[in-house]
Amino acid sequence: MAANSCAVLLQVTKCTFQRPSLPPKIEHSRNPLSSTFKPLLRELDHFPNISVDVPKAIKETSFKLLDAFVDFIYEFVDQPLLPSQNNFAPVEEIGEATTVRIVEGKIPDDFPDGVYVRNGPNPLFGGLKSTKSIFGESSHMWVEGEGMLHALYLKKDSSRKKWKTWYKNKHVQTDTYNMEKDRTKPGFLPAIQGDSPAILFSYLLNVLRFGVIDKYLSNTNVFEHANKYYSIAENHMPQEIDIHSLQTLGNWNFPSGSWNRPFTSHPKKAPGTGELVIVGIDAKKPYFELGVISADGKKMVHKADLMFDRCAVCHEIGVTQRYNVIMNFPLTIDISRLVLGGQLMRFEKDAYARIGILPRYGDANSIKWFEVDPCCVFHVINCFEHNDEVVVRACRARQSVIPGPSSSVNQLEKFFKWIKRETSSIDDGSEFTKESTFPRVCEWRLNMKTGEVKEKKNLSGDEFAMEFPIINEKFTGFSNKFAYLQVVELKEVSGSGYTRFGGLAKLHFEEKKASTDEEDELVKAEYHMFPKDTFCSGASFVPKPGGIDEDDGWIITFTHNENENISQVCIIDAKKFTDAPVAIITLSSRVPYGFHGAFMPLES
């Protein structure tokens, strides 16, 4: 599922660029790919380093020659979109916010004032640009598009009787976004999927021309910490956002260089303290570091190298009252593998998988590891302590669909046949099926005293595949009764080639599904399915002010009707989950499918 990566491909002072006559110097943190540049050079017999101090005129000439070389050698080509993929296509910024109207129902009187904002990829310059060259082909994936925020603002008037709602969108203006937009044409060469020589030369040419290995995406998630708001993806530092205007304020600067790499798109607030727990991966040692940021966001109170022996992709972590929960699964990044002609990112189905339980301020020596069956987990639902056990619930697939089959441009037709299940394998012999690649809800119970692992691989059943879980965040780190997930379209195995979500599920963890004996272990599920050809993204739970029960609140989500080409926001009562939405708000422009959303309560 392409969307499941949430741009896992990955995301310092604010910089503003004019159209450069030479590569600007960007003070950037390492990321899982850019930090591999030096070892990559060693692998490739020491290509020249651009940091050599030479006269400005020579630098300018060299840059122009490199640009001319790329223009001559490389051809940018758009990847075609099927009709069923139209809402994955990018949109333009609308400029000023526009008032929108409620077309069905009524926003509840006790719904909080705030902004519902969702992040997602929105590629520049017409969409997905792949390249052809003498080095081979490389392709740009939808999940790599520059981040765009889509925000619906909801506010009652001074009399608290009438709602005002307005919509705005805006690109996240990272350093590399500004650099490429100023060029008015594609500049960065795609460097994730395709022929190995093409990817390697893309890395080198991107660094030589722009000073970084790839674009800073900032397209996956949005979060708040210490009353500041951030956009994030895993190949760069979070970008601070003015939540009212959506203006990008710059990179999050950590004091005194206390953190020099990006971090997970899903940082977690520690229960009780409000500290922010983060992890960051790198393609060279140290492969995996954990940090704890103070509740006021001003200092790093703890940092530890967890001494990994590989670069394991870790899109999300978990927290409990006392512990951090680390997912070390066999989806790996390996630059040496790429140099030898293999994939940069690969799911190693025969490699080990383990979950680590780490005291909040622990180090590598204090992790207790639990071996589990190899699988792929992008999203954790929740973690909590129960007696001697740490309970971990997550969305689990037997293997990763990322990076999927070989993705050079001329294999697009094979890719669609693979999605449609007209073939079960691609050239490398890997087998991909609905059962192995579409996730189900699972549970691990890890006994901290005995080391025993109790695993339930499928709590949700086979009726639907589910992803992008959310809960009432007041229960993060504590035992919770409910989770809400986006339901994969029933026809997805024969449709678009990108994952779409045709509904929502509410799981009741403390109630069993009433059915046959063989389903006794399944939990109760309720479904809210959208009309035909209508799909959702970025669902978020909005707690009811003063609510008592865990499910006192609403689910809010962007939806798009592909037949009518209309984008809306639906508000669903979490207690009356199967009922019609309490309000449907029609937006002024199309909202493409994206990744994660959040509701930010705002002061009046």
Which residue positions form the known binding site? 266, 315, 379, 596
HSE-CB at 286 with a 13 A cutoff on CA atoms is: 14
| Distances 433 to 1, 274, 419 between C-alpha atoms, Å | 11, 41, 9
For residues 118 and 143, what is the distance between their CA atoms, to the nearest angstrom?
14
| Beta bridge mates, 105 | 583
Binding residues for Fe cation: 266, 315, 379, 596
Strand residues in 466-550 grouped as ranges (E): 466-470, 482-488, 501-512, 523-529, 534-543
Residue type at position 226: A
Are 488 and 480 spatial neighbours (Cβ–Cβ below 8 Å)? Answer: no
Are 166 and 101 spatial neighbours (Cβ–Cβ below 8 Å)? Answer: no
For residues 167 and 99, what is the distance between their CA atoms, to the nearest angstrom?
6
| Distances 222 to 150, 239, 246, 378 between C-alpha atoms, Å | 11, 9, 11, 17
Are 432 and 424 spatial neighbours (Cβ–Cβ below 8 Å)? Answer: yes
Task: Classify burial at 397, counting beta carbons within 10 Å of its beta carbon; exposed 0-12, middle 13-18, buried 19 or more.
Answer: buried
Q: Are strands 147-156 and 136-139 parallel, antiparallel or unpaired?
A: unpaired
Are 150 and 118 spatial neighbours (Cβ–Cβ below 8 Å)? Answer: yes
Closest by CA position to 219, among listed 149, 317, 279, 151: 149
| Distances 538 to 34, 117, 453, 470 between C-alpha atoms, Å | 29, 8, 32, 10
For residues 252 and 243, what is the distance between their CA atoms, to the nearest angstrom?
15
Q: Are strands 163-171 and 147-156 parallel, antiparallel or unpaired?
A: antiparallel
What is the chain's alpha carbon radius of gyration, rounded to the nearest angstrom?
Answer: 23
For residues 159 and 44, what is the distance between their CA atoms, to the nearest angstrom?
68
How long a stretch of residues is the chain? 604
